[in-house]
């Protein structure tokens, strides 16, 4: 059982106790995915988007070894601005706690902790997945295997276009993680509206996602994750030509600089933000805010459904 801290008497504790909607948020996008100083402002805006849609935000992260579900503003500020904040996947949580580290939780770690805390919906930007060249490097995000065993709905804009999207979808199928397009049958490509792959299923409303979640529980087959893939509208995506150029450049730099392991994703995201002179940042922020809004509406629909069927 994961040990974590939920501030007693705080809004997250109260909402969980009363069965009101809560949305988990990750901190790796804040500490490692978004450039400073915008990251703190965006982190607060994400929480605000969840609130505006009627749910309570619970940003998850580690502060001085304490795994916190529902960071307060001082803790969020610390993870957004301090030096040496570790990037924590599931395997890092215990050692980070035991050594008193500050750390930001990835999709994998956030999902695991959120589910253990009883939170059923999580919003992020894009999932990790299978990296290009994975056939040689074996670089596949722990996000995938963690979602195979973690009961949570993750709202995202697909996986980052820096990845091998086709291979990622194949792995999600193998791992038993359902992928629902939100008002689309095409899998989104994070910065891009369409990553070029069809989906088997699409849902049209938060209520329909809540129906799916309820059906899983009713069937007793709900030990894994559910991905709700929410694409940006085409007129809000990053210019595809600029995207392709930037990606080619970024991948070349990655090889030249010998970047590997968990540094790969932050490196490529930082390259995008610098090389597009902020255009990718603006798109990234829109993605996260839209996902936070949808996740909150799903959490509201799920809470309402539970309340009426209880």
Q: According to DSSP H, which parts of the chain are helical?
A: 11-18, 28, 38-52, 73-81, 93-98, 107-116, 134-137, 142-148, 165-174, 206-219, 240-257, 264-275, 279-309
Q: By CB under 6 A, which span of 26-34, 68-76, 146-154, 299-307 interacts with ligand PSU?
A: 26-34
- In terms of CB distance, is 44 or 132 closer to Mn ion? 132
141 lies in the binding site for ligand PSU (CB under 6 A): yes
Partner that binds at residue 67, options ligand PSU, Mn ion, none, CB closer than 5 to 8 Å by kind: none
CA distances (Å), 224 to each of 151, 155, 178, in order? 5, 14, 9
Return the residue matching tokens 């982190």: 43
Site for Mn ion in 247-306 (CB under 5 A): none
Q: According to DSSP H, which parts of 124-205 are helical?
A: 134-137, 142-148, 165-174
| Shortest Å, Cβ 196 to ligand PSU | 19
Q: By CB under 6 A, which span of 64-72, 78-86, 135-143, 229-237 interacts with ligand PSU?
A: 135-143
| Shortest Å, Cβ 304 to ligand PSU | 29
CA distances (Å), 273 to each of 144, 267, 306, in order? 25, 10, 41
Q: By CB under 6 A, which span of 14-22, 23-31, 53-61, 173-181 interacts with ligand PSU?
A: 23-31
Q: What token pair was written down for 15?
A: 């909402």
Known active-site residue 26: yes
102 lies in the binding site for ligand PSU (CB under 6 A): no
- In terms of CB distance, is 29 or 298 closer to ligand PSU? 29
Catalytic residue among 47, 87, 160, 262: 160
**Pair 117, 150: CB distance under 8 Å:** no
Give rounded-to-5 percent helix, strand, coil for the chain.
Answer: 50, 15, 30
158 lies in the binding site for ligand PSU (CB under 6 A): no
CA distances (Å), 252 to each of 41, 126, 259, 271, in order? 31, 22, 11, 11
143 lies in the binding site for ligand PSU (CB under 6 A): yes
Out of 92, 102, 139, 164, point to the residue binding Mn ion (CB under 5 A). Answer: 139
* Site residues (vs ligand PSU, CB under 6 A): 26, 28-29, 32-33, 106-108, 124-126, 128, 141-143, 160, 262, 265, 269, 284
């Amino acid at each position: 059982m994961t040990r974590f801290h939920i501030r007693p008497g705080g809004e997250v504790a109260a909402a969980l106790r009363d069965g009101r909607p809560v949305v988990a948020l990750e901190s790796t996008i804040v500490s490692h995915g978004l450039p400073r100083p915008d990251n703190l402002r965006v982190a607060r805006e994400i929480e605000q988007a969840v609130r505006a849609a009627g749910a309570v935000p619970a940003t998850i992260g580690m502060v001085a070894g304490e795994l916190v579900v529902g960071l307060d503003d001082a803790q969020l500020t610390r993870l957004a601005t301090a030096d040496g904040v570790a990037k924590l996947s599931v395997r890092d949580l215990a050692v980070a706690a035991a050594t008193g580290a500050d750390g930001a939780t990835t999709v994998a770690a956030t999902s695991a902790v959120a589910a253990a805390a009883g939170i059923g919906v999580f919003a992020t930007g894009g999932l990790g997945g299978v990296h290009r060249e994975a056939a040689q490097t074996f670089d596949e995000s722990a996000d995938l295997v963690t979602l195979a065993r973690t009961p949570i709905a993750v709202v995202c804009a697909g996986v980052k276009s820096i990845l091998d999207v086709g291979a990622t979808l194949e792995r999600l199928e193998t791992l038993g993680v359902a992928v629902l397009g939100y008002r689309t049958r095409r899998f989104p490509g994070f910065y891009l509206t369409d990553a070029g792959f069809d989906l088997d299923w699409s849902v049209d409303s938060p209520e329909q996602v809540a129906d799916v979640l309820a059906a899983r529980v009713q069937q007793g087959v709900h030990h894994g994750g559910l991905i709700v893939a929410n694409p940006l509208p085409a007129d809000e995506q990053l210019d595809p030509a600029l995207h392709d150029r930037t990606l080619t450049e970024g991948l070349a730099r990655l090889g030249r600089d010998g970047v590997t392991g968990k540094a790969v994703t932050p490196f490529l995201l930082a390259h995008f933000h610098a090389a597009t002179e902020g255009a990718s940042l603006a798109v990234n922020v829109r993605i996260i805010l839209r996902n936070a809004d949808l996740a909150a509406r799903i959490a509201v629909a799920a809470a309402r459904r539970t309340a009426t069927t209880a």
